[in-house]
Amino acid sequence: MGAYWINTFRAIRDQEKLDAYVALAGPAMRAGGGTFLARGNPAAAFEQGTTERTTLIAFDSVEQAVAAYESAAYQEALAALGDGAERDIRIIEAL
């Protein structure tokens, strides 16, 4: 059926840590079967939305997306990010 990973940054505290995360996270997501559909700052945000960096990644399944999150490669990216940002990650099943 497919799944989408939505990563919304609430606050970026350390750009260098974010840059290190991005360099590692992209390859980790692609290695886990993810396809980047959108990333960057939103063109518009409403209600409680934030205009910080947002990423949308497609996967073949929820299980594949969760496995990508739990992978050693992505955990390395998370370690590089550390406390450099506050984020909200959601994985939802496609319709």
49-81 pLDDT, tens digit per residue, is 889 999 999 999 999 999 999 999 999 999 999
Instruction: Answer yes or no: are the C-beta atoms of 79 and 21 closer than 8 Å.
Output: no
Query: Would you state the structure tokens that stand for residue 44, as one six-digit string?
Result: 């518009």
| CB-based contact 85:12 (threshold 8 Å) | yes
Output 41-44 pairs: Cβ under 8 A, ≥24 positions apart: none
Over the chain, what is the mean pLDDT?
Answer: 96
Assigned CATH for 3-43+51-93: 3.30.70.100
What pTM value is reported for the model? 0.91
